[in-house]
Amino acid sequence: MTSPSKKNAVKRRPDFLAIDFFCGAGGTTRGLIDAGGYVIAGVDKDTRCRQTYVENNWNATIDYAPPKFLRRDIFPATDAYPGGEHTELEGDLERLIECYRDRVPGTPLLFAICAPCQPFTKLSRKELSETRKAGRERDSNLLTEAAKFVKRFQPEMVLSENVQGIGDPKYGGVWDDFRVQLGKLGYATGSKVVCTSNFGIPQYRRRSILIAVRRELANPAFLTTGHMGDLVVPEAAPDNVVTTVEAAIGHLPRLTAGATDLNIPNHKTRSLSDLNLKRLSAALPGVSNAYMEDTPDGDLSLACHRKVNAKLRTRCFNDVYTRMSPDRPSPTITTKCHSISNGRFGHFDVEQLRGISLREAAMLQSFPADYVFYPTDMIEPIARMIGNAVPPRLAEFFSRHLAASIARP
């Protein structure tokens, strides 16, 4: 995405200012800007996201500049963890927020706090090194640390998104604790698990949403009747039309496995072994991988899968080495979305023996077609950015909802 032309742009006040914590490659920021907000800064300790974040997210109001990328660790520095930068980040935000509040007085501030989901997923239960275990344990407290910045800066609105299971008690109640902390700080809150396919996103992806607005500013029409102080969390966009995989990506040029389209950014696929090409050549859209037991090349199912299926007396891992259905939203786009051995990531067109491309994965996440991920010559780092991102349209919808929930004079 290039900078909007100042000559043609309409200079207006943003509907809100925003700070995007844990911004990654910018899915949330893209949605905040599309909702009419001005994103002051994105905060992330992973510098690999910087180029993708900055070059794709030019603001459309005030100065038409991209958000600042603040490479900061939000934890405080301690003897056990000297890399913490809480104090430095607080200073950065104090200067930036004061500057922009002076430029557009009276404009509400939104904190987007979409913490990394790894500590709250099944994958986190894998065997980890002691260093990674310590990191995961620390990261499970990210929401608590972020709440300290809410307390310090008192934004009018807070938006948080995470995996469906974050509310499970086995993760220590971090989601409910975060909501309670916001309530004690004077916010009306609401939380619900929603599916992204109900918000114009061509993907089945169930996510936990938490929204908050300062209680004294809340429009009564946005509060539930059963429990005063609870914000209404919509389960679907009012005008939602379910978007299918074919509608979202069917127009893109054909590719082969391991190929790159030089005219379309990130339209790049992973190569496949001869065996996986045989598997995919026998796969039909939308079916399970039971097809592998009887292909023109014989039984191509994995020995390890046969062993587990026999032991458990049921079929497991049904979606690996399969194709998406063209007439439905896609399955959840993960950080392994480039690999047909990690889910239902085969292209729906039976004439294309390949997994989906990085561009297709990004579009199924609702990123704009001109959103370029860097470095463009790599696959796995980009797949990780795409799979970890908040779908921009989801962030757009809920930030608009929050902005509307503030009672105006």
Q: Which helix (H) or strand (E) holds 131?
A: helix 130-139
pLDDT value at 75 more than 90 = yes
Predicted pLDDT of residue 203: 98
Higher-confidence residue of 7 and 291: namely 291
Q: Are 43 and 23 in contact (CB under 8 A)?
A: yes
Per-residue tokens: 26: 């910018």
Strands 157-163 and 206-214: antiparallel
Determine the Cα–Cα distance for residues 201 and 407; give it in Å rounded to an integer.
29
Q: Are 352 and 256 in contact (CB under 8 A)?
A: yes
Q: How far is CA 37 from the centre of its chain?
A: 18
Q: Are 14 and 106 in contact (CB under 8 A)?
A: no
pLDDT value at 265 more than 70 = yes
HSE value, Cβ hemisphere, 13 Å, CA-based, for 40: 24
Mean pLDDT of 181-197: 97
The DSSP line for 9-25 is S-----SEEEEEET-TT
Strands 16-21 and 109-113: parallel
φ, ψ of residue 298 in degrees (nearest 5) = 95, -165
pLDDT in tens, 266-277: 999 999 999 999
Higher-confidence residue of 311 and 163: namely 163
Categorize the per-residue pLDDT at 409 as very low, low, confident or very high, splitting at 50, 70 and 90: low
The mean of the pLDDT values for the chain is 91
Predicted pLDDT of residue 160: 98
pLDDT value at 6 more than 50 = no
Predicted pLDDT of residue 123: 46
Categorize the per-residue pLDDT at 138 as very low, low, confident or very high, splitting at 50, 70 and 90: low
Determine the Cα–Cα distance for residues 138 and 288; give it in Å rounded to an integer.
38
pLDDT value at 172 more than 90 = no
HSE value, Cβ hemisphere, 13 Å, CA-based, for 36: 16
Q: Are 105 and 81 in contact (CB under 8 A)?
A: no
pLDDT in tens, 310-366: 777 676 778 899 999 999 999 999 999 999 999 999 999 999 999 999 999 999 999
Q: Which helix (H) or strand (E) holds 193?
A: strand 187-195
Mean pLDDT of 109-119: 86
The DSSP line for 306-372 is HHHHHHHTS---TTTT-B--TTS-B----TTTT-GGGSS-B-S-TT--SBPPHHHHHHHTT--TT--
Higher-confidence residue of 135 and 298: namely 298
φ, ψ of residue 82 in degrees (nearest 5) = -70, -10
**313, burial (CB in 10 Å: exposed 0-12, middle 13-18, buried 19+):** exposed
pLDDT value at 8 more than 50 = no
Categorize the per-residue pLDDT at 118 as very low, low, confident or very high, splitting at 50, 70 and 90: low
Determine the Cα–Cα distance for residues 303 and 24; give it in Å rounded to an integer.
38
Q: Are 210 and 189 in contact (CB under 8 A)?
A: yes
pLDDT value at 308 more than 80 = no
Helices (H), 9-120: 27-34, 50-55, 86-103
Number of neighbours of residue 103 by Cβ within 10 angstroms:
13
